[in-house]
Each structure stands twice: as structure tokens, then as C-alpha cells.
Amino acid sequence: MTRSVIEEPQSFTLAEAQKPNLTDEEIRYAVKKLQREPNEVEWAMLEAQWSEHCSYKSSKTLLKQLPSKGPRVLVGPGFDAGVIDIGDGWVVTLHIESHNHPSAIDPYGGAATGVGGVVRDILSMGARPIALLDPLRFGSIESLHTRWLFDSVVRGIADYGNCIGVPTVGGEVEFDPSFERNCLVDVVCVGLGRKDKLVLGEARHPGDFVYLVGGRTGRDGIRGASFASKTLTEKSDTERSAIQVPDPFTKKLIIEAILEAVDAKIIEGMKDLGGGGLTCGLSEIAAKAGTGMEIDLNRVQIREPNMQPAEIMISESQERMVLLIRKENERKLVNILNKWELGYAKIGHVTRDGLLIIRQGNEVVAKAPAKFVAEAPLVPRSAKRPEYLDALAEVPEPALPEDLDQTLIELLSSPNIASKEWIYRQYDHEVGIRTLVKPGQADSAILRLPNKRALALTTGGNSKQCYIDPYWGTMGVVSEAFCNLVAVGAEPVALVDHLQFGDPGNPEVYWTFKE
């Protein structure tokens, strides 16, 4: 017999709630939709999934305006990575994400897990990760703190990428005092796969079993999504429990095992576990298909004693994937996972009713529609032109320097322009034997493709220009990226954007985002 700890609908006042990190409006919305007060586990799940980091609740409306369809686009926004058709049955997948807050606290681990996260996004589409790029932003290079962040971030990216055998073939770095406290650590990953073996993050078939594959679940990364949605302060250093722990050796095993299962065509759906952990992975993969899931947390392999249901549901322990498998393919999957000596557990199954039901043995600890959990209520934001733009307009145009030779020397010696060889020499940019044009040789990296074609990759950004004029600055960034590709003889066919702003509740910040 299953026992439920879900309370029946009752009268509720906001003051009685054990407040999660949600707005008053979101708390009222949750109570209204469920017709009861969520319990501790459900509040924790909503706090994670409805964070800015996971939900895009303040930006989704605007991001939908971006053009995302084209003759080569097979999969656009809404899944873990974009997919473009490169002909002859081959596809390229691409995604970019950041790990800014974790890298500001633990730069080595934060950067390494940033690589791990974006690699999982590519893998979850059924593609092999073949290249990384790393656009980075730091404070003044004269600062000892910045030098520590810079050195540690580069080592974290290098060690993780080198261990999993994925080359880092490009990137960029900018130093500016505005990034002193909040460095930006972005990572691009590109994958290669077959069109007929693509896997989508959708639980389309009720009855499919849910497998949790890879590393064990611990307390690292708990509330990481909420942490990533906050403003960094001097007290942020105390939130180290929100930082995930990298394990590139397990990741390498996951890559090879998953791709073997993809080749065997036994994976019905797949989702990586990053921000929000099981809460995000399970709710989103079910909501996409309008199905539900029933999960038993007692089957989840944990690495720390006495973990509570809420901790298991929002843990962001790394190197974990959710796979959906038909009953007749279970033995094939288990054989592959045992071959690669990977941990796994069958933790539940897909249901028809659209409900996400979380049990701990016979006790139901959380129950809500998967779509309700996965899709946070959108937040309308006000926008106001920043006052600083008026002040910038009054700044006189600088006079031309008298000694142009000295000015040229000063420019070339700037860390923003000088050679970045110290960085890319730490990366194995030739592993996989696909790299034709290497870092430092041209404006874009070029990789060899199996269909006698080549793939050019580049990144771009200009913080100062976008600060002075968000609209035209962004136009310039896109133009420069296209020019970098054209300069090596390539045709631009797709781009991904990674826009990073301050608090969306600040009207001046939101105005710059809209521009």
C-alpha cells in the first residue's frame, strides 16, 4: 500500500508558508494551481526549477523573437542543444552555457564542471562531443584575485577537456575592472552525430523505464540553480555547498557508453542532469511529451548517508544522465553499462497521467503535474533606458595621440590584444585528429568532418561596445563572428547566443537586455 504525505486542500495564508526562494506572487500561484500548500520537497523542487537559471521566466518571451528556423536547422531552441544538417546523413550539434557564479567561488571546479555540463548537453542529443571553445571575462590583470581566478579557470577547462579527450580549439579572453567580482566563464561545445540516431529529451512512450546512469547522487550542488540566479555578494563565498564536484574520468566512460547505446538505437529519450538535478531533468522530459513519471528515490544510488528526499531531488551532483528505455531493450543497456563499469539504477517509469509522482518506498513525498513543475510562470519586467547612457553622451571625443608609434605599442601590449598562447597551449587542441586550423593560426578554428567537408568555429563578444550601445554593440558582435568565419572561407550557417545580464528586476538592466 502506498502512503501519501500530500495534504488535502485547506485554507492557506501566505504568512504560514515555509517560504522558499520564490516571490510572493509565485508562492500564491503554486498554492492556487495545486489547491493546497506544497510540502517541503515540492517547495524545494519549485525553487530550483522556477529559478531564472532553469526557467528563463524573465527572458523567454523576448528570446522567442529570435529567428530559429532555417533550411539546415533540425532542432532549435527548447532542447539541450541545437542541431543543424551538414549533409550526407551527418548533423552538428552546438550549445553554449556559463558557470559564472561557481567559478567566482571555486574557479577550478566551477570551470571544470562548466565544461562537463555543456558536454552532457551535446551527448544528450545522441552526438559525440568533438570540440570546445571558451569565451572568458575577468577583472583587471593587475589584480592578484583576478590572476588567481584566471589561472584556476584555465586549468579547470584544460584538465577536464584533456581528460575526456575533447579538444579546446578556440575562445577569447577580456580583462576589465567591471568583471572583478563576477567573472564570466562560458563554454561552447560542438558535437557530431548521425541524423537517423538523434535522441530528443521527450518521454513519449508511457511504460518506458527511467534509468539514472553515471555518478552517485550527493549533497554537492544543492540549490546550485538558485545560487546561479542570485546576485553575487561578499557573502556568496559561504555558499560552497552549491558548487558541483567534477569527475572527468566518469564522464569519459559515460560518453562512450551512451554513444554505444545510441548506435544500438535503444535509447527512447535522454536528458542530462545539470541545474535543478532530477527535478529539472524529470519534469522537463515528461512535460515535453505531455506524459508523467513515477519515481522511487530509494532506488537512487546515493554517496552520502541520510540524504533527504528534497536533497536527492535538487542535488546537482555531476556526471549523471537520465535514459528512457523500452522493456525489451533493458538487457542490452545493462550489458553496455556493465561493460563500461558505470553505475546505474532503474528508478521509475513513464506514465500517461501527466503527473510527476515522487516516492520514497511506499511513501509519496511529492506529487504535481510535470508541466506545472517544468514551466514557471512568466514574469513581466519593466524596462527603462539607463541614466548612464546620457552621461556617456556628454563625454568628449578623445584627441588623437601625438605619438602613434607608442600608442600602437601600448595597444599591442594590452592583455586584451596580446597573444593568448599561454592559454591555448595548456589545451590539447588536436585530440581526435580533426583539428585542421589550430588556435592562434586564424580567426576561426577549422575541424575535419567525415563527409569531406570542414567545420569552422568561432566566438565573439565586445563588452564595452555593448555597454555603450546595447543594440549596435550586439550587431557588431554578430557581424564580427560572421567575418571571422568568412575570413577562413566558411559560410555562416548557425549561431548560438549567450546573453548575460544583471538582475532582471532592475528596469535599466532589462532595457539593455531588450535592446
DSSP per residue, 308-329: -HHHHHH---SSEEEEEE-GGG
Active-site annotation holds for 99: yes
Rounded Cα distance, 462 and 464, in Å: 6
CB 310 within 8 A of CB 371: no
Rounded Cα distance, 206 and 9, in Å: 29
3-class DSSP state of 417: coil
Out of 95, 99, 101, 429, the active site residue is 99
Rounded Cα distance, 92 and 277, in Å: 26
For residue 253, which amino acid is it? L
Rounded Cα distance, 368 and 300, in Å: 20
CB 105 within 8 A of CB 260: no
DSSP per residue, 161-225: HHHHT--EEEEEEEE-GGGSSS-EEEEEEEEEEEGGG---S---STTPEEEEEESPB-STTTTHH
Q: Return the closest-CA partner of residue 95 out of 85, 84, 110.
A: 84
Q: What are phi and psi of 297, to 5 degrees?
A: -70, -20
Q: List the catalytic residues.
A: 53, 99
